Amino acid sequence: MGRNRKALLAALALLTAAVMGSPGSAAGAALRVAVADFDYSDTSGEPRDQAAEHAARVGAFAGILRQSLAEGGYSVVPLGCPESACSVGSLGPDALVAAARKAGARFLVYGGIHKMSTLIQWGKVQAVDLERDKLVLDRSITFRGDTDEAFRRAAGFVVQELEAAVPKP
């Protein structure tokens, strides 16, 4: 095969990959989503210190979001934050967005949960399209209970909301 013909075939292959989207290109790749740690506050006034239990539950909450999105075909990317908690409350919005962009995320999911009484918790979950600088999900949630199961059910609901708001890969 002549040198010119090889060069022409290579150029055509590159052009086809650019137009059609190769498996490694953005057109064929899963959407990259970063799920930040969630903040937690407890103003219930309960006498027993439950900080360790709540930290574990809110950590599991974010973990369920990450795992469920990954199982749903999204590419979940870790945030490389300098702080122990990679949340909007610990870093601030600008630093969290910068960390998500640095990680190569297209979408950033973040929020917090507030325990307001012995039975009721409410949360705020937001998702931002970093490419368009657009909020695509702004959802308040409430749930009853302060158990692992209550947090799992709430996380399952949030996953459904995220999948509806963030386009499928």
| 148 and 60 Cβ atoms separated by less than 8 Å | yes
- Residue at 140 is within a domain: yes
Q: Which residue has the higher pLDDT, 138 or 7?
A: 138
Q: Which domain holds residue 116?
A: 30-165
Query: CA end-to-end span of the chain, whole Å?
Result: 40
In a domain, 159, yes or no: yes
The pLDDT of 135-143, averaged and rounded, is: 98
What are the residue ranges of helices labelled H in the chain? 3-20, 51-71, 88-91, 93-102, 148-165
Residues 86, 88, 94, 95: what is their CA dihedral angle, to the nearest 10 degrees? -20
Classify residue 13: in a domain, yes or no. no
Domain for residue 12, yes or no? no
Query: Quick check: is 5 in a domain?
Result: no
pLDDT tens digits, residue range 11-21? 333 322 333 33
pLDDT of residue 114: 98
Q: Is residue 104 part of a domain?
A: yes
pLDDT per residue over 71-128, tens digit each? 999 999 999 887 678 999 999 999 999 999 999 999 999 999 999 999 999 999 999 9
pLDDT recorded at residue 84: 72
Question: What pTM was estimated for this model as a whole?
Answer: 0.82
Asked whether residue 21 is assigned to any structural domain, the reply reads no
Beta bridge partners of 140: 124
CATH code, 161: 3.40.50.10070
- The structural domain count of the chain equals 1
Give the model confidence (pLDDT) of 26-51 as tens digits: 455 889 999 999 999 999 999 999 99
In a domain, 4, yes or no: no
